[in-house]
Structure 1
Amino acid sequence: MTVTPQRVPGDPEPRPVVRPLKQPTRHRSHVPPLGVHVTPDGGIDVAVLASHATAMDLCLIDVDDAGGFRERRVELEGPVYGVWHAHVPDVAPGQRYGFRAYGPWDPKAGLRYNPAKLLVDPYARGLVGEVVYAPEVLGSPADPDDDALRADPYGPPDDRDSIAHVPHGVVVGPLARPQPLTRPRVPWADTVIYEAHVRGLTLLNEKVPEELRGTYAGVAHPATIEHLTSLGVTTLELLPIHASATEARLATQGLTNYWGYNTLGFFAPNSAYATRAARERGAEAVLDEVRGMVHLLHTAGIEVLLDVVHNHTCEGGDDGLHLSWRGLDNPVYYLHDGASPAALADVTGTGNSLDYRRPRVIQLALDSLRYWAETVGVDGFRFDLAVTLARGSFGFDPDHPFLVALQTDPVLSGLKLVAEPWDVGPGGWQTGQFPPPLAEWNDRFRDAVRGFWLEAPKQGSHGGPMRGVRELATRLAGSADLFGPGDPPLVRGPVASVNYVTAHDGFTLADLVAYEHKRNHANGEDNRDGSDNNLSWNHGLEGHTPQGDDATTEHWEAIVPLRRRSQRNLLAMLLLGAGTPMITAGDESGRSQGGNNNAYVQDNEVSWVPWKLDAAGEDLLATCRFLARLRHEHPALRADSFFLGTPRPHEPDPDLLWFAEGGEPMDVAAWDTPGRRVLQMLRSGPGDDDADVLLVINGGLSDVVATLPAVPGPAGGTGDPAPAKRWDRVWDSAWDRPEPPDEEERHCDATTTLDALSVQVFLTRPAG
């Protein structure tokens, strides 16, 4: 090992040292774990994967009084099975560092070693600084006439030093857990997920102190927690909090990647979401704030899931940034197309994809997941574009080593694991194909609910045909067609279906009922980005404010109540259907993005959750709270296993029955009736004291009189002179607030009248 002082930009003639090929180190029995780890003797163990490199330097970086950087370079030993390593004495926590890799520059063969570029440690647990978007962050020269900052994919190496233009790793010492880790361990059947962005959730909440708004600490503030618990939220799913970087294309347009699906460090938290005080104290304080957030949420009984982006990195395509993986081991980390010249294969739509055929890539993901689970204490993960993580040599593999590891790992297998079951590559749609214990986002639920309540009525209002109830019923019953197959069958249960109507990606709930066309012009892509298949319905006028000659006061006043009812219908399907519901932050109170269905660059009030609500927002919030409470209070609405349609052991009544509007059971002919829009779903309470729940759905454009089915059990037509139970209407989506305008509205005899496009909920109550 040698330590070599180096000059850096600002000093005269700074140039990296070119090293000859080293002889491989003898294969030792022990090589330090990847990353940088503090040792008891006051030093560090360091190890980094760079299997095609010929030499590797650890660069210890100091900042002088003028803000300049000076390096001390430590020559690493190796490689041992591709890993370069060393023990370095007298290095304390807080020390900045990076790597410089030496080797062939042969882009046509996939080799991109350029020691002029300081490289971020893929295992860094803290990062400081931001990417400065300039030619220095490219591995090869950029076209000077190209404003998009794109490198020549097969050009010569760029010899400008990048140390002042890239983030630096920070040595993080051992962390003491503030309190013993006690996970809430919420059963899947009781789980209600709330998807939120750390910054956007609290930035406008005046109940949160100003210095905490938009931070990890703000998420754990009592005002935030009270809101979540009032909604019945058991599990907070946070959009990516890994350190990330904006795409060069966006940066050159003055935009930022607000969502953060562009990872720069799989171990380091995004310091921009920490309080100013934590940032000023350094990387360990930022990490402590994240851990403190998790602890306080746990104390309130709320689990924390992280949305993790292990399918690609922030470096982009072959013409992209040269920050870390590309300069350390481009052929190993990234999926290539196998052609000559070598080019990246892109199944993620981002320019690159990590190669999960490589054990070291799987190791990187698993090491990161264990770190966040054990050191930070999170309760699970949602895997962005999870099909990429299970691609083998022949496409998606449900027995992929990564998925096997998730099933068998003693740390990870007991957590909540959720797959986004698609990517953009061949065979990329795999909903229902992931093995337990993974749950999956169910896009079929989203499309069925939107299709029934929005797309079909839109067609019907123009005289077109309206789809029937079969697809909606399948989704409300837990999507057994998707999640039931397996060996043995039916083991996953309806809880494997993460039901959602909206997510961060797409229209908000309020915009679904107000726009038929996306309004993404502010994203800088001429409105080409974002989906065109939204299954939305504006109910007759586009937007949230009257526009055009048709927007008369009378017309507008007729449309607005229908839109609000449609939002309530969608929330009812989400919170009362079988499966695991996921609410998107702000949908509970009518948040709008002005028709933007791809607001990933909108770090402004377009994306932030509003907390000052008008009367309509308060009404919707009250409705969402009521429906969540209904779900929580009645076991019939929290199915843990698929319905049988027959009595379960030790239970007298079938667990699920379907009825037509006349009160008769649905038979094959009824299910096959084209355009049927009325349906009754009866779910029996599993215990003697548990209420049965009846959902009566009218998806037609006219009011309907429905005959209620007989109450299950002894009250249901056994000849008893005095029935023990009756139906009690507890909610109607025609109500602006979750209470009847008149107490008589609660009580029903044999029939009920449903307004057009509405849902009613009934519970069995003691007669009298």
Structure 2
Amino acid sequence: MRPPGLRSWTAQEGAPSPLGVTWIESEQGYNFALYSKHAERVTVLLYRDDDVANPVLAQPFSHLTNKSGRVWHCRIPRAAMSGARYYVYAVDGPAPRDRFEWHAFDPDKILLDPYARSIFFPSSFDRHAAMRPGSNAGKAPLGFIPACEPTFDWRGDRRPRHEWDTVIYELHVKGFTMNPNSGLSPDARGTYAGVIEKIPYLKDLGITAVELMPVFQYDPGDGNYWGSMPLGLFAPHHGYATAPSVCACEQHNEFRAMVKALHAAAIEVILDVVYNHTAEGDHTGPVYSYKGIDNSTYYLIGDRPEAPYENFSGTGNSLHCANHYVRKMILDSLRYWVNEMHVDGFRFDLASIFTMIDLYPNPELRGVAEEAEATLARIMDEAAR
């Protein structure tokens, strides 16, 4: 028998699925769910706009009631959130170990949810604070709590298909639209909206598909112009939106409006996706998310404590794509971009990383590309160099 007054057990304890933060209409609250195999303590922290350094609520997770298997979860009523707009996690666990299981837990670090749909960078954001031990409070990226559902009118949208006459134009959203010689209005330059204004130009060239260079949220402090150092695999890059910090829903809807306009012009949308590494780099790089949540789950770890990360990607780390939950995260990301954002295909950067199992190649992609193809998305990959 559940306690009186509760609609369900999960109204108090939360549910392990789906991962990320989810609005539960029937309970008028949010479900928070985070995977970590090795964590010993997890706390979700909520922040308001007027103070991104001190949480208005710090909700610890109980081993007994807020953990199912390796997923930590809780349910927080909206009435108890004191107007919070952002959320992150604090995670603690065992000390680093040798050989293949090197942990990077720091209970003072503010950690971004890998499933965050939109990411906020406060004006006080400091990449270097994430590279040092100890707290980066007030200087860390935060996940938006979905205060509004990012609904979008997809009526009339049809996915174009060009099986035999495909002409692909690879473009960088900012590079394609930012220069004054683009002929765009100043507000549209460097944005998803700017791509819409350039559709007549693409049509004049006979383009049937655009391949967008990486649009996943990346670290604005990294200095990588191309977006190839992803931080969030579900979040569109905020810097390409006309209102990057006003409303998370608008970031999504600006991207969706671009996709719908391209579809109306019979142009497919293909994403250049980077699932082989992240913006966190090697052991000298920042701790934003994956490292502090469960380092040896998310990354391929070798047998050298002085340089623990295997660097098959050439960027400092390599995602452990053979791990069940890492593979699930990648597949969930692919489904999200196809089902919620209506993209038509993917070009995988350095797809050979998908075949790495315990540091040795495996001839199968272990379902990643096959799952994406089952969604009717185009699949392209970059072979190992």
Scaled to the shorter chain, the TM-score interval is 0.7 to 0.9
1:240 is the counterpart of 2:218: no
Distance 1:356 1:376 in 2: 23
Match of 1:80 among 65, 68, 73: 68
Distance verdict in 2 for CA 1:280–1:264, change over 3 Å: closer
Distance 1:57 1:112 in 2: 17
Shift of 1:358: 0.3
- 1:132 is displaced (CA, Å) by 1.0
Q: 2:312, 2:53 → 1: CA distance?
A: 40
Equivalent pairs: percent with the same residue?
Answer: 34
- 1:137–1:322 contact (8 Å) kept in structure 2: yes
Residue deviations 1:192-239 (CA, integer Å, cap 9, x gap) = 100000011011245321110110000011xx1111011110101111
Q: Distance in 1 between matches of 2:365 and 2:196?
A: 38
Distance 1:327 1:212, change over 3 A: same
Q: CA deviation at 1:113?
A: 1.2
Match of 1:128 among 105, 120, 129: 120
Partner residue, 1:201: 176
Q: Which residue of 2 aligns with 1:324?
A: 289
Secondary structure at 1:117's aligned position in 2?
coil
Aligned residue for 1:243, secondary structure, equals strand
**What residue identity is the alignment partner of 2:238?**
S
| Counterpart residue type for residue 105 of structure 1 | A
2:93 equivalent in structure 1: 103
The one of 208, 213, 221 aligned to 2:189: 213
Once the two structures are superposed, the pairs formed by residues 107-118 of structure 1 within 5 Å of their partners are 108=98, 109-118=101-110
Q: Could you tell me which residue of structure 2 aligns to residue 53 of structure 1?
A: 39
Aligned residue for 1:385?
350
Cα distance in 1 between the residues matched to 2:84 and 2:163? 40
| C-alpha separation in 1, matches of 2:156 and 2:291 | 37
Partner Cα separation in structure 2 for residue 93 and residue 229 of structure 1: 46
Pair 46,305 (structure 1): closer, same or farther in 2 beyond 3 Å: same
| Matched residue type, 1:39 | I
SS for the counterpart of 1:106 is coil
**Contact 1:64 / 1:70 at 8 angstroms: preserved in 2?**
no
Equivalent of residue 379 in structure 2, options 408, 414, 417? 417
Deviation per residue, 1:658-710 (Å, 9 max, x gap):
xxxxxxxxxxxxxxxxxxxxxxxxxxxxxxxxxxxxxxxxxxxxxxxxxxxxx
Retained in 1: the 8 A contact 2:42–2:92?
yes
Contact 1:199 1:214 in 2 (8 A): yes
The residue number in structure 1 matching 2:247 is: 282
Aligned to 1:137: 130
Partner secondary structure for residue 88 of structure 2:
strand
Q: Kindly state the Cα deviation for residue 82 of structure 1 after the two structures are TM-superposed.
A: 1.1
Provide the rounded CA distance (Å) in 2 between the counterparts of 1:290 and 1:339.
Answer: 42
Residue 227 of structure 1 is matched in structure 2 by 201
Task: Provide the residue aligned with 1:43 in structure 2.
Answer: 29
Provide the residue aligned with 2:142 in structure 1.
168
| Cα separation, partners in 2 of 1:171 and 1:92, compared to 1, 3 Å | farther
Helix, strand or coil at the partner of 1:190: coil
| TM-score, normalised by the number of residues in structure 1 | 0.45
Matches within 5 A, 1:162-561: 162-172=136-146, 173-180=148-155, 182-204=157-179, 205-221=181-197, 224-245=198-219, 256-275=223-242, 278-339=243-304, 343-393=308-358, 394-407=360-373, 409=374, 411=375, 414-422=376-384, 429=385
Structure 1 position 396, deviation (Å)? 4.0
What code does the residue aligned with 2:364 have? P
For 1:377 and 1:350, locate their aligned partners in 2 and report how far apart those are by CA, in whole Å. Answer: 30
Alpha-carbon distance in 2 for matches of 1:296, 1:239:
18
Supply the distance in 2 between the matched residues of 1:352 and 1:125 (Cα, whole angstroms).
Answer: 23
CA 1:310–1:89 in 2, change beyond 3 Å: closer, same or farther?
Answer: same
Distance 1:29 1:98 in 2: 17
Instruction: Show the counterpart of 1:31.
Output: 16
Give the residue type in structure 1 aligned to 2:88: G
Size of the aligned set, in residue pairs, is 360
Q: CA RMSD in A?
A: 2.3
SS at match of 1:220: helix
Contact 2:238 2:245 in 1 (8 A): no
**Greater Rg over alpha carbons, structure:** 1
The alignment partner of 2:340 has SS state of helix
The letter for the 2-side match of 1:398 is E
**Alpha-carbon distance, 1:339 to partner:** 4.7
Distance 1:320 1:88 in 2: 33
Distance 1:230 1:126 in 2: 34
Shift of residue 112 of structure 1? 1.5
Give the whole-Å Cα distance in 2 for the aligned partners of 1:257 and 1:29.
38
Note if contact 2:282-2:316 (Cα within 8 Å) is conserved in structure 1.
yes
Segments of structure 2 that go 5 or more residues without pairing to the other structure are 1-12
- Say if 2:162 and 2:208, in contact at 8 Å, map to a contact too: no
The aligned runs of 1:9-28 (5 Å cut-off) are: none
- Cα pair 2:350 2:381 within 8 Å, conserved: yes
Q: Structure 2 CA distance, aligned partners of 1:30 and 1:268?
A: 23
Question: Are the counterparts in 1 of residues 49 and 84 from structure 2 also a CA contact under 8 Å?
Answer: no
- Decide whether aligned partners of structure 1 residues 106 and 195 sit closer, same or farther in structure 2, where only a CA change above 3 A counts: same
Q: Deviations over 1:166-215 (max 9, x none)?
A: 11000124332312363333233111100000011011245321110110
Measured at CA, do residues 227 and 267 of structure 1 come closer, stay the same or move farther in structure 2, by a change above 3 Å? same
Higher relative contact order (CA 8 A, sep 6+): 2
Normalised to the residue count of structure 2, the TM-score between the two structures is 0.87
Separation in 2 of the partners of 1:93 and 1:124? 18
The residue type equivalent to 2:76 in the other structure is: V
Q: In 1, Cα distance between the equivalents of 2:97 and 2:156?
A: 47
Query: Which one-letter code corresponds to 1:378 in the other structure?
Result: V
User: Matched residues in 1 for 2:361 and 2:297: separation?
Assistant: 18
Tell me if structure 2 keeps the 8 A contact 1:312–1:348: yes
* Residue matched to 1:637: none
- Structure 1 SS opposite 2:58: strand
- Shift of residue 69, structure 1, vs aligned partner: 3.8
Letter in 2 for 1:87: R
Corresponding residue for residue 63 of structure 1: 49
| Secondary structure in 2 matching 1:63 | coil
Residues in 1 aligned to 2:218 and 2:116: alpha-carbon distance in whole angstroms:
13
Code of the residue aligned with 1:174 in structure 2: it is E
Q: Residues 435-470 of structure 1, C-alpha deviation per residue, up to 9 Å, x if partnerless?
A: xxxxxxxxxxxxxxxxxxxxxxxxxxxxxxxxxxxx
Deviations 1:559-582 (A, max 9, x none): xxxxxxxxxxxxxxxxxxxxxxxx
Distance 1:280 1:362 in 2: 30
**Is the 1:113–1:328 Cα contact (8 Å) retained in structure 2?**
yes
- Write the distance in 2 (CA, Å) between the matches of 1:181 and 1:76: 44
C-alpha distance in 1 between matches for 2:334 and 2:218? 17
Q: CA separation of 1:246/1:105 partners in 2, compared to 1, >3 Å: closer, same or farther?
A: farther
1:55 and 1:415 map into 2 onto residues whose CA distance is 39
Deviation at 1:122, TM superposition (A): 0.3
Give the drift of 1:241.
0.8
